[in-house]
Amino acid sequence: MAYRDLRDFLQALEKEGEINKIQAELNPRFEVSAAMKIINDSRVVQFENITGYPGKKAVGNVLGTRGRIAKVMGVPEETLTQSFIERKNQQIAPRVVEGGPVKDVIISENIDLVSLLPVLTYHEKDISPYFTSALTIARDPGTGMQNIGLHRLQVKGGNRLGILLANPPVATFWQRAEAAGQGLEVAIVLGADPAIMLGTMTKATAEGPDKIAVAGGIKGEAIELTRAEASDILVPAHAEVILEGRIIPGIREQEGPFGESSGSYFQFLSPVIEIHTVTHRHDFIFHFMQVWGVEPDIILSLGVSTENISSLKRMVPTLKEINFSPGTCMFNAVASVQGATPAEVRQLMTLILGMDQRIKQIIVVDDDVNIFDMREVQWALATRFQADRDMLLLSGLKGYVIDHSIHSDGSTSKIGLDATKKGADLSRFEKLRCLKKVWLEPRRR
């Protein structure tokens, strides 16, 4: 049976000892983020004593391991990649319900977001607190189609937010609304069902797919939605908090600097949202995502790596799996192959470097290398790669907005590194292996 919502999932994890509860009092300005860095725990981290917010809890690293994502889906970790691909393609339309726990408390006057929510300030030079795990829902002003996206949100004070709209579909909805001289109603989801967070990692245009339906497929059952208080947007009925507001046309303000998932600060001129309604559960749980941390690495890696793997396998059947190096914001990819020729590896590197503007580097290894263990990947690169023979360099390609190294015209160069075994005698590349059964079996007397 699927988990009903975030808190249902957290309760299951607590029973398994998967939650590290921090009782020390910590300030949401810098201290919680610093504690996450220091703790560096694979478990969920729950902060139970946040300065200025008595009784409120904040949780991070919820989807910080592939094992926990597999648990959300109810599948073995070993089959996660294939199961995720299959479930994404088995969309289940959401079910509309009356009300829901997210309507326990309704606030429509005197909204001050910082007073209400323990929003974190993460880095030394961040301009203000930021929502990092908030999911923004909007409707296409022309078609009425609704969709959702993950966008960073700056808390500017009072009821005002800045939003970075760099990716469709929500960015497209906003462009169309503003071109018509209109604002855009939005609903911002905090503490979503983990399946919704995973569904949001799917690429979508203004025409679809519906990421909530994708989330239903991932979960294995329909996501329950309820009508927002002040608009016709449908919101997750079991979310922790919903912020309803409107993007104001014709206004741009400085948004940032903010430390992005690429590990550097960025600032933009961005649209402004005015929040007019807040609904939330009793004793809501505040979910945050540690920027440049493990959780966004894990979920983005799964989302991006599975986006095109089926079509890539049709073109290069020797491809086994794709992963991304931690901390690289999806800039550095790793792929494993089985029995590929150098020509097939070169073709694969060209295809992967072209499939997403974020990807700047691809390392290809044989399937005896665990691509989820960067120590093994670096070992393969050190012992099976020769720069004068095994390197592919591409230039003049479109760069990514949060990469400071791109050229002034927005272009970037990309590199492919073939770290597969080559030569007439491949046996000399045999990797060391320990015989686990020797020490797992009871010692004979």
- Domain locations along the chain: 6-295, 308-429
DSSP 8-state secondary structure symbol assigned to residue 143: T
Average pLDDT of the segment spanning 253-262: 95
Q: Compute the average pLDDT of residues 146-158.
A: 98
C-alpha triplet 134, 148, 304: angle, nearest 5°: 85
Residue 134 pLDDT greater than 60, yes or no? yes
pLDDT value of residue 445: 47
| pLDDT average, residue stretch 287-310 | 93
pLDDT, residue 241, reads 99
Burial of 180 (0-12, 13-18, 19+ CB in 10 A): exposed
Q: What is the DSSP string of 276-320?
A: EEEEE-TT-EEE---TTSHHHHHHHHHHHHTTSHHHHHHH-TTEE
Contact yes or no for 221/2 (Cβ under 8 A): yes
Same fold, 6-295 and 308-429: no
Q: Given this model, what pLDDT does residue 153 score?
A: 99
User: What is the pLDDT, as a whole number, of residue 308?
Assistant: 87
Whole-angstrom distance, CA of residue 294 vs CA of residue 127: 23
CATH number, domain 6-295: 2.30.110.10
The residue type of 256 is: G
Residue type, 335: A
Average pLDDT over residues 36-42: 90
Distance from C-alpha of 289 to C-alpha of 64, rounded to nearest angstrom: 10
- Which pairs from 95-98 meet CB under 8 Å and 24+ separation? 95/222, 95/223, 95/224, 95/225, 96/224, 96/225, 96/226, 96/227, 96/234, 97/224, 97/225, 97/226, 97/237, 98/226
Q: What is the pLDDT of residue 132?
A: 98
Q: Does 77 score more than 60 pLDDT?
A: yes
Q: Is the pLDDT of residue 436 over 90?
A: no
Averaged pLDDT for residues 323-351: 96
Residue 40: pLDDT band by 50, 70, 90 thresholds? confident
State residue 438's pLDDT score: 58
Task: Flag whether pLDDT at 94 surpasses 70.
Answer: yes
Q: Residue 157 has what pLDDT? A: 97
Name the CATH code of domain 308-429 (choices 3.30.1280.10, 3.90.550.10, 3.40.1670.10, 1.10.3720.10): 3.40.1670.10
Per-residue pLDDT of 201-210, as tens digits, reads 999 999 999 9
Alpha-carbon distance of 92 to 127, in angstroms, equals 40
Evaluate if residue 32 carries a pLDDT over 60.
yes
Q: Please, what sign has the CA dihedral across residues 264, 265, 269, 274?
A: positive
- Is the pLDDT at 440 greater than 70? The verdict is no
Across the range 5-17, mean pLDDT stands at: 98
Residues near 168 by Cβ (< 8 Å), separated by ≥ 6? 149, 204, 205, 206
The predicted model scores a pTM of: 0.92
**pLDDT (0 to 100) of residue 206:** 96
Q: Average pLDDT in the 138-167 region?
A: 98
pLDDT tens per residue across span 354-398: 999 999 999 999 999 999 999 999 999 999 999 999 999 999 999
Identify the pLDDT of residue 117: 99
Helix axes 6-15, 66-73, angle to 10 degrees: 120
Is the bond preceding 54 in cis, omega lying within 30 degrees of 0? no
Contacts of 187 (CB under 8 A, 6+ apart): 136, 137, 138, 228, 231, 233, 235, 242, 243, 244
pLDDT surpassing 90 at residue 22: yes
pLDDT at 443: 54
237 secondary structure, DSSP code: T
Which of these, 391, 363, 397, 390, lies nearest to 377 by C-alpha position? Answer: 363
